[in-house]
Amino acid sequence: MQTFDEIVTLMSARGLRVTDQRKTLAKLFSEAIGYLSPKDVYDHMGKTYSGLSFDTVYRNLRVMEELGVLEQVMFEEGVKFKIHCRENDHHHHMICLGCGKTYPIKFCPMDQTNVPTDFKVIRHKFEVFGHCKACAEEEQVQGGE
């Protein structure tokens, strides 16, 4: 997790202007638990910053992705963003469908996968979805399936 200050410093170092919108965005993602869709971001930011426009959200999401602060992932429901993982070693994620919180998986299935020699692997994706302890309990209380 990168802190708000680190993000602001990085933006500044790259010659980008530190506007209120960007500060709000940096604060949101530095504190956010899971993945956020552009709409989530717009809604959350709207609370702090009224008169915000959607295009600024998109623009800044892209800026922060190019900065390396955010990472974009495609889910069934669409694009989502979160703070770029800091773990220096390769890893995957368990993702809670309730709160969106992620947990690292150190194990990489590529080590175990028998790839034919004539298939040139470029990238891979391994994600586990489910409910974390808190969200699983909540499900149970509500009698969800």
Partner DNA sequence: GTGTATGCAAAACATTTGCAGGATG
Partner DNA sequence: CATCCTGCAAATGTTTTGCATACAC
Q: Using CB distances below 5 to 8 A depending on partner kind, what does residue 42 bind out of DNA, its own copies, none? A: none
One-letter amino acid of 43: D
107 binds, among its own copies, DNA, none (CB under 5 to 8 A by kind): its own copies
Q: Does 62 bind its own copies (CB under 8 A)?
A: no
- Residue 95: CB minimum distance to its own copies, A: 10
Cβ at position 20, least distance to DNA in Å: 5
Residues 8-42 as b or e (16 or more Cβ within 10 Å = b): bebbeeeebeeeebbbbbbbbbbebebbbbeebbb
Q: Which residue has the tokens 């997790």?
A: 1
**Bridge partners (DSSP) listed for residue 92:** 105
Distance CA 55, CA 67 (A): 18
Query: Does residue 119 belong to the site contacting its own copies (CB under 8 A)?
Result: yes
Pick from 87, 114, 141, 143 the residue near its own copies by CB under 8 A. Answer: 114
Q: Is the Cβ–Cβ distance between 34 and 99 less than 8 Å?
A: yes
Q: Provide the binding-site residues for its own copies, judged by CB under 8 A.
A: 74-76, 94, 96-97, 103, 105, 107, 109-110, 112-116, 118-133, 136
Residues that bind DNA (CB under 7 A): 12, 16-22, 37-39, 49, 51-56, 58-60, 62-63, 78-79
